[in-house]
A and B are shown apart, each in its own frame.
Chain A
Amino acid sequence: MIRRVYMDHAAGMPVDPRVMEAMTPYFTQKYGNPSSLHSWGNEARKTLEDERAKIVALVGAKKPEEVFFTSGGTESNNLAIKGVAYRNKDKGNHIVTTAIEHMSVINSCKSLMKEGFNVTNVPVDKYGVVDIQSLENAITDKTILVSVIYANGEIGTIQPIKQIGEIVHRKGALLHVDAVAAANQVPINVENENIDLMSISSNDMYGPRGAGALYVKTGTRIQPIIYGGGQERGLRSGTENIPAIVGMGKAAEIAKTEMKTEGEKLARLRDKLIEDLVEGIPSSFLNGHPTQRLPNNANVRFSYIEGESLILSLDMLGIACSSGSACTSKTLEPSHVLIAIGLKHEEAHGSLLFTLGKQNTEEDVDYVVKALPDIVKRLRAISPLTPKELLS
């Protein structure tokens, strides 16, 4: 049997067995609805609040009323952006965001543009760090919201959120942070880092899919985008997904206690992977920031070849990762994040994204480092772009 090495945790994570164990009774035994008045309902309501407290602890919120459960990161981003825009349009119609946001932020902003809102995309430097001066200049007296990704899941670059928050607040706008990729990996404190709204997701911290949360600082003006029975204090209607919320709570609890040791381990593996690949394979380069990056993120590009071919070749050897190539996307466009850091289209096509996880070992890294040079060599031999001197 071939070895199987999963390094695509940005795409999907396994559920931690401790999370699974915590969730299980809530499917078949503890199935009450928190809105019910009987004992089943009371129990569910208590569970909901216990789990909320774990999210509060993870993000450093002041009160439980500041955390709202959603169906995941995409919904949290939609709610933050559209909910703030609609509620504050009496103050202005301008939103500032960056060139490296998740599609759920980009497309929420695009939908608002059709409704008369203006959106400014702030550029990033070659490492993927937001240009602070451009961000400051972009904020006008019409700006109601600034939305910045805490750390982009594709290139891993961590943004100076605290500093951005100071600027945003000085200029009188609100700061939303998409922390979906970061919340599990780096300690975030919404109070210290001047964050007004923050999106997180369950599956990005070894919880189940179908749960997420939005932190909303007390006093922030926001309105719902989903209407119904008034759950989550009216901001997010729909019967609470208690099993998934229990899973997310447990995942958040584990993340909080294990983040430091886990992060150190992942960063060691990440650095080894990056170093060995970039040193071992000619014409290969790191994408993103050399130090200010998520502990689990290694994004490396290989000149003259295309990412889907790399992924197919790695898959034959049991290795799973992602690419920024157009050929692996539904839109046939290369990753907007790689283009934003200044890569040419053909460079973006040759990028591979490895996102490490808890179960990855040094042997896994060695396996990838051993497998990739031959694959790159073979594909370069097939490619008409490869310079002759690289073929010998």
Chain B
Amino acid sequence: MYSEKVMEHFRNPHNMGEIPDADGVGTVGNPVCGDLMTIYIKVKDNRLEDIKFKTFGCGAAIATSSIITELAKGKTLEEAMKITRGDVADNLGGLPPIKMHCSNLAADGLHAAIQDYLKKREAAQKK
């Protein structure tokens, strides 16, 4: 059902874990639906210096989480915001159609983490 690339990331997910002092955290999905993803980012000089994830969900959910950390690491915030769900699926050699909607949350998770960072930064600047 899944591409070899998906299985590879499912077997050996990259950048799995938490960043305790993360600059931004994004959580998307809902355990009720079977997928919940949290992305942690560390930002330095407008770049994603570090990124980690934790995911509850199916093989696709875990693989997309893993690949997004690969795609985003080292990118500027602007570049990272441009990564789409389509990019995630393409870099995994495609996803089964039924998984495109429900489990392909990783780009949303990344964007939510960046927005969380931007919001926190804005709040800090106002002080």
Q: Does chain A bind chain B?
A: yes
Q: Given that A327-B103, A349-B34 are known contacts, is A381 also in contact with B16, CB under 8 Å in the complex?
A: yes
Q: How far is the CA of A266 from the CA of B27 in the complex (A)?
A: 44
Chain B residue numbers with a CB within 8 Å of A327 are 34-35, 57-58, 60-61, 102-103
Chain B interface residue count, Cβ-Cβ cutoff 8 angstroms: 27
**A326 in contact with B27 (CB, 8 Å):** no
Q: Given that A304-B56, A306-B58, A327-B58 are known contacts, is A382 also in contact with B13, CB under 8 Å in the complex?
A: yes
Interface status of A384 (Cβ within 8 A of chain B):
yes
**A384 in contact with B98 (CB, 8 Å):** no
> Which chain B residues in 102-124 approach chain A with CB under 8 Å?
102-103
Q: How far is the CA of A316 from the CA of B7 in the complex (A)?
A: 10
**B57 in contact with A306 (CB, 8 Å):** yes
**Most central of B32, B38, B60 by chain A CB within 10 Å:** B32
Q: How far is the CA of A308 from the CA of B61 in the complex (A)?
A: 10
Least distance between B41 CB and chain A CB atoms (Å) = 15
Binary CB contact string for chain A from 281 to 322 against chain B (1 if under 8 A, 0 otherwise): 000000000000000000000001110110010001000000
Q: How far is the CA of A385 from the CA of B38 in the complex (A)?
A: 10
* Band of interface residues on A: 20 to 34
Q: How far is the CA of A304 from the CA of B37 in the complex (A)?
A: 13
Chain A residue numbers with a CB within 8 Å of B35 are 306, 327
Chain A residue numbers with a CB within 8 Å of B2 are 312
Say which residue of A309, A316, A330, A383 sits within 8 Å of B98 (CB atoms). A330
Q: Given that A309-B58, A312-B10 are known contacts, is A382 also in contact with B34, CB under 8 Å in the complex?
A: no
**B62 in contact with A309 (CB, 8 Å):** yes
Say which residue of B10, B31, B62, B98 sits within 8 Å of A385 (CB atoms). B31
Cβ contacts A to B, 11 pairs, < 8 Å: A306-B35, A306-B58, A312-B10, A327-B60, A327-B102, A332-B33, A345-B34, A346-B34, A382-B62, A383-B56, A385-B36
* B contact set with A: CB distance below 8 Å: 2, 7, 10-11, 13, 16, 27, 31-38, 54-62, 98, 102-103
6 A-B pairs with the lowest CB-CB distances in the bound complex, closest first: A327-B58, A308-B58, A384-B54, A346-B31, A383-B56, A345-B32
